[in-house]
Amino acid sequence: MDGVVLVAGEGTRLRPLTFTVPKPLIPIMGRPLVSYGLRGLMSGGVDNIVFVIGHLGGYFIDYFGDGSSIGVRISYVTQERRLGIAHAIYRAIESGAVKGSFVVYLGDNYFGDDIGFIMRSFAEGDHDVYIVLTRTKDPSKFGYVLLRDGKVYKLIEKPRDPPPGGYTLSGLYMFRDPDLVARAFKDLKPSWRGEYEITDMIQWFIDRDYSVGYSVVTGWWKDAGSPSDLLELIYLMLDKVDERIEGEVRGEVIGRAVIEKGAIIEGRIVGPAYIGRGAYISRDAIIEHYVDVESGSRILGGSLTRSLVLEEVEINASRARIVDSIIGRSSKVVLGNGSYSIITGDYSRIVQGA
């Protein structure tokens, strides 16, 4: 199958961070979020991928290029206006980059299950459309899917009052015939949000008696749409890490931690935690559980827990505690006493009570 990766959104709920970096390129444990999805697509046999780009789209071109560095072919098409997922899929087909059966992956999604297995099940079957379902605490934030007698019969986009017993539509969709998908799109009308909805596109197939199959993921799935979602994704991913220490530990590491090459630990790490290449944790700093410190960052004092520190950040929290925070690239944070929860964009400067 071909792959279509949708990364055109502006990531408004993650501002100010996404003013300068697209959400799917935010690094988690040393690699961009979207690269985990690419790895899943490749495991399912995809070697030709089209990125549908928009907001800060040039960053994807700069990072992935033609895909040769990761062993796939990558091309790019621009979605000039945010007109919805169905429109983004149509742009990929319209560009000519999609030749046959294809899989669509939302670039800010993460699956705990093996999506390659799901893709192979579709490729070997005879469904016209295949979707992946899950359960969420708040289904009103996503597409909602109702089943009847084991078959998909109705999809609702972000229902205010979801009927009981349904499932959340995740960000993985598979289609057999791109020409048929293009035909479906041309029959759609924009929703009340002014967008062409993926739920309406899939409903088009159901209403015309095409075969729409599904899988229900048993592991976890995360849409990293907001700061709390992004942090929860880090917690879930760190829960699965195996200990790997390649940096220099002069202090203490307790529990499972990944310490990359070039990192120097003089303070205390309480895992699960990730410390990136060239990062430095001073003897006056404590990294507690569920912290991701990306490459080149320096933690000179204080304690951190349940937080993401992006590249080339310097933090001197003295006797302060930083909790449930995201610190943008190349930022500098100086704190005195107290407990802080901070969400910053890149290149920020914060001085408080030092």
| pLDDT for 294 | 95
pLDDT-wise least confident of 49-53, 222-226, 330-334: 222-226
Burial 166-187, CB ≥16 within 10 A → b, else e: bbbbbbbbbbbebebbeebbee
Segment 306-335 mean pLDDT: 93
Residue 320, burial from CB neighbour count under 10 angstroms (0-12, 13-18, 19+)? buried
Q: Tokens for 157?
A: 């986009």
Which of the four pLDDT bands, split at 50, 70 and 90, describes residue 224?
A: confident
pLDDT digits (tens, 9 = 90+) for 28-71: 999 999 988 888 888 888 989 999 998 888 899 999 999 888 88
Q: Does residue 225 carry a pLDDT above 80?
A: no
Amino acid at 11: G
All domains of the chain in start order, with CATH: 2-237 (3.90.550.10), 243-352 (2.160.10.10)
Per-range mean pLDDT, top range of 68-82, 145-159, 229-243, 296-310: 296-310
Q: Does residue 10 carry a pLDDT above 80?
A: no
CA distance 337 to 335: 7
Q: Tokens for 225?
A: 């749409």
Residue 285, burial from CB neighbour count under 10 angstroms (0-12, 13-18, 19+)? buried
Which of the four pLDDT bands, split at 50, 70 and 90, describes residue 354?
A: low
| pLDDT for 164 | 82
pLDDT digits (tens, 9 = 90+) for 183-208: 999 999 988 888 889 999 999 999 99
pLDDT digits (tens, 9 = 90+) for 314-326: 999 888 999 999 9
End-to-end CA distance of the chain: 56
Segment 74-80 mean pLDDT: 91
User: 321 Cβ partners below 8 Å, 6+ apart?
Assistant: 302, 303, 304, 305, 338, 339, 340
pLDDT-wise least confident of 88-97, 222-231, 283-292: 222-231
Which of the four pLDDT bands, split at 50, 70 and 90, describes residue 272?
A: very high
pLDDT digits (tens, 9 = 90+) for 141-175: 778 888 888 888 888 888 888 888 888 888 899 99
In this prediction, what percent of the chain has a pLDDT beyond 70? 99
| pLDDT for 353 | 64
| pLDDT for 287 | 94
| pLDDT for 310 | 95
CA distance 261 to 244: 10
Q: Does residue 222 carry a pLDDT above 90?
A: no
User: 183 Cβ partners below 8 Å, 6+ apart?
Assistant: none
What does pLDDT average to over the chain?
89
For residue 130, what are the CA distances in angstroms to 127, 214, 220, 237, 345?
7, 5, 19, 26, 38
| pLDDT for 128 | 93
